[in-house]
Structure 1
Amino acid sequence: MDIETIRDMYDGWGRVTAEPEDVAYKSVDAGGIPAIWAVPLDSAPDGAIVYAHGGGYIGGSPDGHRKLAGHIAKAAGVPALVYHYRLAPENVFPAQLEDSRKVYDWVLGQGVAARKIALVGDSAGGAIVTALALQIRDSGSEQPAAVVALSPMYDLDATGETMELHAELDFLADKSQIAAIAALLLGENGSKDAPYVSVLNHDLSGLPPVYLSVGGHEMLLDDSRRFAEAAREAGVHVQLEVTPAMQHVFQFMAGNAPEADASVRNIGDFLRQRLA
């Protein structure tokens, strides 16, 4: 399967998401990065979600994720900015992280305080926003209010026990797929040991509160479990939501599945508390 076919497939995920009511969309240039604002009716203008879409670092787009971001924005009561970071393999890591920092700084430049910004992402985007929080911490800048990661891809070596235990349960992932993604993301000269590539290898102290949501049938389940354990040991407040029998980024079914809607409500409650 060629890269463009894969990208078309990733963009098709958004078709299963119901259109959220009372959410308006506006395309913007966010510091040189294409992005879409999802703005719920009567949302608080002083807060924002910075949303990194998933797609295995090689696909995904704001248009394909705008409805999911809109549901989360509506639940949280603040606008969400879904941005289009540069994709691999044309752009190897850390291009994705660099673009994410540009967008975060752009939102700050729009007058939104760091304590009123939440970083949210799904799959690869969940790993990106977690790495962004680490990079913000390491730069000495003020941390955002929270991080939310949906089915994050934290381990490019795919060493979690559920990679084997859930191989017959997970309809979307496999170990060879993750290995291929890692090769495309890092290129010929990249390393999985490079800073921010695998957040499981980092000191997690000083991160803002983190909300993790993952499906109970996912091969990536242990990525979230191991991160939650390590972060808690480092003194980070972590909430881990595991929804039984669900697949990768099941929140894409928002508006069409009760499990997805319940998770979105939980995420919204968490964000409302942190952005208050």
Structure 2
Amino acid sequence: MGLGRRALLLGAGGLLAGGAAGCSGTAGTGAAAVTRSSGPLPTTTPWRPDRDDVDPAVKARAVEVVEAIGAWPAGQGGVAAAKRRVAALGAAPSLVDEAGPLLPVADEAVLQVIDAQYGGILADSASVLVVCRQWTPDHRTGTTGTTVDVRLSRARPRWEVTALHPARPGAAVPALPAAAREVLSAPRIVLPPAAAADIRSGHVHESVLRALLRLAGTYRMYVSVIRSGHPMDVFGTDRPSDHPRGRAFDVWQIDGHAVVDPATSRRLVETFMRDAAAAGSYNVGGPVRLSGGAPGQFFSDATHHDHVHAGFTA
């Protein structure tokens, strides 16, 4: 993790005070971010994988394609220009047609990757969940953006991006339960755009909301994924994931410390994982293999090297 990204991560709410943000590094909460209504768009920071990641190259490849589609200088909007940018990376221009909410329709846009975490990684294929915010002249609040499930296959000289699956949270419901409203307003629960939209859609289970609120009593959490933007099945299997059913959440940063960073205290991560289990999760995964708990309650693998997963029953 470069100094620039570390400074961004540790900045107020993960966003620099001067209004810089975007789809790389760490964005702030849905409520914080940038509130200017005029003037230049925020300055963003290119996202870089941690050198101690399981496979930094696969994340870098996924992110560069998303950044090429979702950010462009004034006068270079439009699908044709986006396809040229993607082609310049050696990726398929047709990927632009799958970009959904990131499609270049404005005259100018900036993008900040908040985090890129694994949706799954195997020997020859991977899913990287690229979590980001986007600003355009018409949308300067930092509340727009998405999470893109980027699918890749191993190739030489670099991983090949084969598909993009942007989050589809669904429309907001007119009335939310109290727990959902509390999570959306909790200052210690930092939500990216897709995760906040998931909650506003009313499709997130009460057990998830209550666990988030309980954990927020002890930790400041940066959530990466709740429901949308995650693979439908556990990657590489035909087992349905708890995420699309609104029964799971992932956290990539705890109290200002990225889970993937080897400098982050393993005791902090372990304690957070145990507290997630105590908050009701039947299935807690992370970079640390824990003992105890119910059979199968704790697990660790390469996919969860960079975040803590908490799943819940209906």
Which structure is richer in relative contact order (CA contacts within 8 A, separation 6 or more)? 1
TM-score by length of 1: 0.35
Structure number with greater Rg is 2
TM-score by length of 2: 0.32
Larger relative helix fraction: 1
